[in-house]
Amino acid sequence: MSDEYNVETKSGASWHLPAIIVLGLIAIGGLAFGWNASSKLDATQQAVTTQVNSFKQGVEQDMSSLKDRIAQDEKANTDLQGDLKVITDKLKITQGQLKKARAEAVAANQDTTQKLTALDTGLRTELATKAASDDLKNVDTKVGGVRTDLDTTREDLKMARSEMGTLIARNHDEIDQLRRMGQRDYYEFTVTRKAGAQKVGMVQVELKDTNTKKNQFTINVLADDKSFEKKNRSVNEPIFFYTGGTRQAVELVINKVSKTAATGYLSVPKNGGSSTASNNSGNGQ
């Protein structure tokens, strides 16, 4: 009985050890697998965290850039609205001036047409009522005068008109034609660059620069103890301004420029100049 027990004890102990070893190996393998999986999981989490942080930084940079662009666009929009308001205000003033100039031009043309019609009617009436030879000679003389007036009027109509409705003379002959109309006083002048400010009528004109290739000039006008400069203005382009003694605009036109001088005229409304200007007018030169 005792021998049988010992044999069974030894037999049972012989399979316990391999089982324990196998279990230990399985446990070690499980631990190794778990550690490997944990390491991979940590690496994956770290990679994901890095990608998320990078994406977050990119989004934040894009948002910051977008905010800056929006701020710039808002500022540009504000500036454009301000510029648009200024342009709109100036456009209203310009449209008002053009409307007034057009009305004056229409009135002037109507007045000229009425004068021509009156001359033609008077001439026909006179020819119909006078049959004697002496009367016909007188009529012929008057017809010649009327033709001269008509030719002058036609030449006047060929002149360009400014936005203020005034006729713009391009040479001495056209200035004389404007004088004969009797609506304004004209002062012809020539200013040189080295002479400084020179008196023309009731103002002073100083020639600053000329560009003969482009027919442009720069002048400085002194009137009523104030001065203003007109840069790069074109020949035969009128310059308008007001003085203390005029209700209508004074007009200055340069007809010709050279390297050192400019020639033109100053147009002043009747009774619009000072007494000194009137005394110095003479023939308007």
Summarised one tens digit per residue, pLDDT across range 102-137 is: 777 777 667 777 777 887 787 777 766 765 555 556
Residue 226 one-letter amino acid: K
Q: Are residues 141 and 173 in the same domain?
A: no
What per-residue confidence (pLDDT) applies to 81?
A: 81
Q: Are residues 191 and 245 in the same domain?
A: yes
Of 101, 126, 158, which residue constitutes the final position of a domain? 158
Q: Are residues 84 and 138 in the same domain?
A: yes
Q: Are residues 173 and 152 in the same domain?
A: no
Q: Are residues 229 and 143 in the same domain?
A: no
Residue with tokens 């008509």: 150
Q: Assess if residue 31 is contained within a domain.
A: no
Query: Residue 263 belongs to a domain with what CATH number?
Result: 2.60.98
The highest-confidence range among 106-115, 153-162, 199-208, by mean pLDDT, is 199-208
Contact 260, 193 (CB under 8 A): yes
What per-residue confidence (pLDDT) applies to 277?
A: 36
Residue 79: pLDDT band with limits 50, 70, 90: confident
Of 158, 193, 215, which residue constitutes the final position of a domain? 158
What per-residue confidence (pLDDT) applies to 206?
A: 94
Structural domain boundaries, residue 233: 169-281
- The two structure tokens encoding residue 76: 């540009």
Residue 9: pLDDT band with limits 50, 70, 90: low
Q: If you average pLDDT over every residue of the chain, what do you get?
A: 77
Other C-beta atoms closer than 10 Å to the C-beta of 210 total: 21
What per-residue confidence (pLDDT) applies to 251?
A: 93
What is this structure's pTM?
0.43
- CA angle centred on 181, ends 268 and 167, rounded to 5°: 60
